[in-house]
Amino acid sequence: LVHLTMPGVPDLYQGTERAYLALVDPDNRRPFTEPSPDAPADEKAELTRAALRLRRERPAVFGESGT
């Protein structure tokens, strides 16, 4: 969440919006598996969406001039 609130372009990689418990090599290199569409909402994904929506709606809050 912290990097989404900093000025500049946030760096997000596929899967980082979801809980991922592989923290060290070689476990952190396993492929990302997309959850099924009928899976319950993931709190981290919802928080990521909300933070990105806020950045889009209020760029001045995050030090973005839009130019």
* pLDDT tens readout for residues 3-27: 888 888 888 877 777 766 666 666 6
Flag whether the pTM goes above 0.75.
no
Residue 10 phi, psi dihedral angles, 5° rounding: -75, 145
Instruction: List, in order, residues 6 or more apart from 35 with CB less than 8 Å away.
Output: 18, 42
Letter for the amino acid at 3? H
Question: Average model confidence (pLDDT) for the chain?
Answer: 76
Cα–Cα dist 30/9, whole Å: 26
- If pLDDT is split at 50, 70 and 90, which confidence band does 53 have? very high
Instruction: Inform me whether the pLDDT recorded for 67 exceeds 50.
Output: no
Give CA angle at 20 (11, 50), nearest 5°.
Answer: 50
